[in-house]
Structure 1
């Protein structure tokens, strides 16, 4: 047996020696990758043969030849082919995956230090001894963007040498001296690589030649406007998101201030949820004193005149609050999410200057308010998230006595809530005109006084309990004005409710006159009477002031929002995720791509839920649950899929076995094709850029017009885990 074992070892050693000798022999085979790889293949000579390799294959050959004392051997040849085959196999699954949805940063704009000129000219880029041929996309004095065939060995921060081989400039030799650049950004797709480079070393001669050429060719037709188009896209999606924001925003001063609540913003979607309950009395019940004292996340339950709250970190107390909420169907379970904010003079200067030109006193008061604000609170109503849940313990009111919220007292001049509108366009000027009118709505009528009037509309107050909805038709009789003319009938003039706001016992309506239902003589009368008296009236600039104020608050709000805005639209005839908005706080870029794949598969279900909405509701509020299994696949479920609390409990028990359990408070807003027309200033700027980038402008218009929904996802996983997991 020992002889047989020794003989096997000797045979194995002999075969290994033969294989070693075979691999060490000089190789006569040529490696030609032209047409087989996406990258550019350069001609390299080694082993007395000419080979055509891309950058990755060349570096592999170089490394392997170093192991064979610089010789091109059979071992080098076979190892290169084996490595390239393995790398190709590794790339194939990545191509099969669905693309990550487009991520667009909505909390900042793209700022360029200088203009770029769109110009294509051939260049050579050298990294050590590897040569790349490409073409410029755009050029600036300090940076250039270049496109190549697919590369593998270029990386961010690499220092490279650039030669402009065919630059149309009389002093071309200065551009052939190979300027030194550093790669600051690199993007790849299957076929091409695009890099952005900035000058790494200053060369006065090179800089002078390039700057002279840029000055001579800096005509508007060749200026790169991609940054302006990206900012317009950013602006549009940010406005759509904030205009549908489902969470009221409270702006607080420090705990030392007498008046803690300094500003309130509530959008129409949130008004529909809170309705008449969003009074100062409701805000007084919130545990805002805890927030002012330093609490970051506070859970509160408000029921009638009772209010209780505690920090999210107090798990046992939070569970008591949830169970007490479940026992009180009319109560609200709220999450107060706090962020630190600071309004600096640099960010406020332009907008305050705009306001000051129209109303200096208002601008001064607003500046004082902004300097005093230290915290922002998002008010998330989670009552829907526990609608299909049974209490797991009985909690009485006495057990919550230590959690009772201290009431925050407000001054009589508490700021009226506003919506975050960044652009308000009026068809005609409004003037402060107080005149008596009789408002008729179905079988009811009120005699009130207008707040302001224009040729196309007016605003006024009605009693707080008036049942009126947006776009509802009402009629108005102008009592005093009718005594001044007999030429037109100023009775039963049709108006439509375009805006309403209920606050502190008053209902403010914005009314638009239905001009096409009025005789032409009546339209001419309103145009004439306003124009005739315009120089005697005080103009209402509330639109300009509120828009500037909205931009101020939006700039501070957006970076601190943890909500994920997911825009849904039509792409190639299919319902899909158009893009996802990123902020500093919502970590959209860290979400697993398989989650987006699973959410895409829910598009049909989402559209069916939207279609099933009652006519009097324009928002779907639900909860989205999900967990990832060992194969990295996500299982998702909406609240509506659970017919009974038992079904939900069983699903949650299965989900809790996975550490990846997530739960999102989900609000879905249907969007109409007219959404793009509401932001008329964005549309006007796109029109101005159409001559420069017609194709890109057309793409953006189609993208805006194809939107059918906005999904707001707010992570409530800590609350769900806390309730379902055993103590």
Structure 2
């Protein structure tokens, strides 16, 4: 019999070797085997259970760094894998035996073992597919808070645990206030524990003997390693007040070559992170808002959230979103001492005599009967929306930190008190959910308290996320007499304020009742009198915007054959007088203003952004942006992945076409795709065992959904998410291009590599946790 054939018997009998009932168990286990097999097994057991007196030195024999250990009276040189194996083997064999010695000299990273198994290591196609949705983790906004020097180098450390164990580790990121170190997984580590760390190698290199002393650190995070289960990563925070670590870091960095390399790496990390951050900001469907008390001051717009912003414009195309955040609501959401708050709004529009009337209800307002009536009346309309407002107080420390970045913005910062993120979480497919309950026997007039006032209009500044110009053509300040004609209003005279080939801004002599849906005819009186053969009479224009006074109006020319000659004349007029026509310059936000707002937003993510690339003709998720500490959803993806990657496989693996491929076929800057997905997180003994997901369309009925939710809660946890995917045409913003240009001046090879990496992004998305709203809408909350 070969060793492999009787080895299973040996493994079964190790726990009972030396026990009084060993012979009985042995006979039972091998009852059907020949007596010779019984003898061979006993001989092998006696051999591996013999006490061992040999020291082990794995230096140069394993793929890993070895440290000296005193164990059971013997001195060994072991790496992280071996020390982990030692503790597991000692527990199994009971003491240091020949079996333990063999386990330590045959670990998986032993060069001899690696060579032997070289041809057995292969990656199947299925395994490659499993890795398509493991996304690299990028910590958004992190570089903004790190003003201190840090040393990104590998240096040996020793760690004294609270139970007295002294272990060896290796640092990868060291600063005066914290550290990240790699330690063996064989030992127990607890969040919040105080450990004593010393830096013998750094002490020798810098000549600072104090580094051999013990420095108290608190464990803030414990992460498994992607590469090996034999070690873990600890995130530590310094608990003492001294500057010895800072002095050591400066000593290492003061060497010109290392300082230059450090600065370059720091800049590369910053530019890379900012590249992904700006791609996210450019493609988000959320609206960032900034408040001064209960007054909305600023909104940050993109091509993808502008439709939600435009939704809150009245029939004259004037912004009225300020009524959503009326004083009593904001006072409730910004109570003193409340650092953050979150609420939902239900809303719809009602057209009445050429007026657009807005209705909104905050989730905490009204009675249950009023809310159900609001749902039944509103959810039947196309204008129905459910939106979430996440509100954060701007603390003094935030403002002080930002003033170090842009001190000239002190006047703006001093007025801001809160920032908010407005997220739409409704879908056309979910509107029927709000009609599942019986309609209350209340009169519709009961909703009148939730109707918005028609005045005043919002005075908030809508700023584009980037400082790039948005106008498609230049405008010029030019005044000339015009007559506006409307079938119901007749003729009204006025003058142009500015003019372009396709647009007009005019000031009428009297107020008119026009809306953004109106079509009018415009005659250029003075210009027409100069040349009667030129088609400058009764040119068709669409109304874009009407000022609240009804006098100032913005127009856009009709795109038709009738207007082609008129457009050609206006083009020649502008071209021939270009030197005399003063340009009406677009008012762009300052880079400093945007920089401040971006930094505030990137530290307060309310959704999880992810980025898509095409690799070898396969669509895959590349990176994911997070804040620390990780939110509940990201902790689930991390559990399925590892320390540096989050695994989004439960969302995308069987739905690549619906969630990734089809959205990327939609022309960029046109439309984002949204899907609702339910998650059942199976938890056993406090640990996540598996995650099951179902798209909304995959449920056969309402009862099917209820059953899924009920079972999810029975076996663990239920979560609901809204996944948004957007095609990316140009991932580089003007800010990203500026940062890359600065990096190229010092390290062009890094700049080129980063530009290629960022340019290969083909899609961007967001994952929003909408669990609470789903449970409320299904009357399960």
Structure 1 and Structure 2 fold alike (TM over 0.5)? yes
Q: CA deviation at 1:350?
A: 7.1
Distance 1:250 1:641, change over 3 A: same
Deviation, 1:658, is: 0.8
Matched, 1:225 2:264: yes
Q: Distance in 2 between matches of 1:403 and 1:710?
A: 39
Q: Distance in 2 between matches of 1:392 and 1:572?
A: 46
Aligned position for 1:589: 634
TM-aligned CA distance change 1:405 to 1:83, over 3 Å: farther
| Superposed CA offset, 1:437-471 (max 9, x none) | 9999xxxxx998776789x9998479853699xxx
Pick the aligned partner of 1:242 from 254, 268, 281. 281
Q: How far 1:240 moved relative to its partner?
A: 3.1
- 1:653 is aligned, of 703, 707, 710, to 707
| Residues 96-105 or 651-660, more deviating | 96-105
After TM superposition, list the pairs within 5 Å mapping 1:93-492 onto structure 2.
98=131, 100-114=134-148, 125-126=157-158, 157-163=195-201, 174=207, 179-180=212-213, 188-190=225-227, 214-215=253-254, 217=256, 221-248=260-287, 251-252=290-291, 254=293, 260-273=295-308, 275=310, 278-279=313-314, 283=321, 286=324, 288-294=326-332, 296-304=342-350, 305=357, 307=359, 309-312=361-364, 316-317=368-369, 320-321=372-373, 323-325=375-377, 328-342=380-394, 344=396, 346=400, 349=403, 354=408, 370-371=415-416, 373-374=417-418, 376=420, 378=422, 380=424, 382-387=426-431, 389=433, 391-395=435-439, 398=442, 404-406=448-450, 409=453, 412=456, 414-424=458-468, 433-436=477-480, 460=505, 465=516
Between 420-429 and 155-164, report the one with greater CA deviation. Answer: 420-429
In structure 2, relative to structure 1, the CA distance for the partners of 1:12 and 1:152 (3 Å cut) is closer
**Aligned counterpart, 2:656:** 603
Residue 67 of structure 1: how far off its partner (Å): 13
Counterpart-to-counterpart distance in 1, 2:763 and 2:274 = 17
Q: Answer whether contact 1:422 1:550 (CA < 8 A) is retained.
A: yes
C-alpha displacement of 1:418: 0.8
Question: In the alignment, is the contact (CA less than 8 A) between 1:243 and 1:420 conserved in 2?
Answer: no
d(CA) in 1 for partners of 2:22 and 2:278?
Answer: 78
Alpha-carbon separation, structure 2, partners of 1:178 and 1:614? 58
Matched residue of 1:604: which SS? helix
Say whether 1:670 aligns with 2:734.
Answer: no
Matched, 1:564 2:608: yes
State the 1:477 CA deviation: 9.8
Structure 1 residues 395 and 432: alpha-carbon distance in aligned structure 2, compared to 1, 3 A threshold: same
What secondary structure does 1:609 align onto?
helix
Aligned positions of 1:622-637 closer than 5 A: 622-628=675-681, 632-637=689-694
Which residue of the partner structure matches residue 27 of structure 1?
52
Q: Secondary structure at the match of 1:681?
A: helix
8 Å CA contact 2:319–2:457 kept in 1: the answer is no
Say whether residues 1:697 and 2:751 are aligned partners: yes
SS in 1 for 2:435: coil
Change in Cα spacing, 1:325 to 1:349, as seen in structure 2 (3 Å) is: same
Q: Distance in 1 between matches of 2:394 and 2:742?
A: 35
Q: Structure 2 matches for 1:494-505, cutoff 5 A? A: none
Gap change, CA 1:326 and 1:634, over 3 Å in 2:
farther
Structure 1 CA distance, aligned partners of 2:528 and 2:407?
38
Unaligned runs of 5+ in 1: 1-7, 356-362, 441-445, 469-474, 512-516
- CA distance, structure 2, for counterparts of residue 251 and residue 312 of structure 1: 22
* Residue matched to 2:673: 620
Partner secondary structure for residue 329 of structure 1: coil
Residues 157 and 27 of structure 1: CA distance in aligned 2, closer, same or farther (over 3 Å):
closer
Q: Deviations over 1:497-520 (max 9, x none)?
A: 9xx888868776899xxxxx99x9
Task: Report the Cα distance in structure 2 between the residues aligned to 1:669 and 1:651, rounded to whole angstroms.
Answer: 27
Deviations 1:648-673 (A, max 9, x none): 5524433442123332334322211x
In structure 2, relative to structure 1, the CA distance for the partners of 1:47 and 1:336 (3 Å cut) is closer
- 1:325–1:331 CA contact under 8 A, matched in 2: no
- Structure 1 equivalent of residue 487 of structure 2: none
Note the C-alpha offset of 1:577.
1.6
Q: Alignment partner of 2:678: what SS? A: strand
TM-score (norm 1): 0.66
Measured after TM superposition, the shift of residue 430 of structure 1 is: 8.5
Alignment of 1:489-528 (within 5 A): 528=579
Following TM superposition, by how much is the alpha carbon of 1:576 offset from its aligned partner in structure 2, in angstroms? Answer: 1.5
Distance 1:138 1:18, change over 3 A: closer
Distance 1:551 1:619 in 2: 26
SS in 2 for 1:657: helix
Preserved contact between residue 466 and residue 734 of structure 2 (Cα < 8 Å): no
Across the aligned residues of Structure 1 and Structure 2, the Cα RMSD in angstroms comes to: 6.2
What is the alpha-carbon distance in structure 2 between the residues aligned to residue 18 and residue 217 of structure 1? 64
Length, aligned pairs only: 649
Cα distance, 1:59–1:202 mapped onto 2, change above 3 Å: farther
Secondary structure in 2 aligned to 1:109? helix
The 8 Å contact of residues 148 and 194 in structure 1, kept in 2 or not, is answered as yes
Residue 61 (structure 1) shift? 5.4
2:742 maps to which residue?
Answer: 688
2:425/2:770 contact within 8 Å kept: no
What CA distance in whole angstroms lies between the structure 1 residues aligned with 2:232 and 2:679? 36
Contact 1:450 1:458 in 2 (8 A): no
Change in Cα spacing, 1:50 to 1:636, as seen in structure 2 (3 Å) is: closer
- Inter-partner Cα distance in structure 2 for 1:451 and 1:328: 42
Equivalent position of 1:719 in the other structure? 773
Question: Taking structure 1 as reference, are residues 105 and 131 closer, same or farther at Cα in structure 2, changes over 3 Å only?
Answer: closer
Distance in 2 (CA, whole Å) between partners of 1:726 and 1:80 is 55
Which ranges in structure 2 are unaligned for 5 or more consecutive residues?
1-19, 28-41, 115-121, 334-341, 351-356, 485-491, 508-513, 558-567, 641-646
Whether contact under 8 Å (2:303, 2:669) holds in the other structure is no
Write the distance in 2 (CA, Å) between the matches of 1:657 and 1:68.
42
Match of 2:11 in 1: none
Question: 1:516-555 maps to which residues of 2 (within 5 A)?
Answer: 528-529=579-580, 540=585, 542-545=587-590, 547-555=591-599
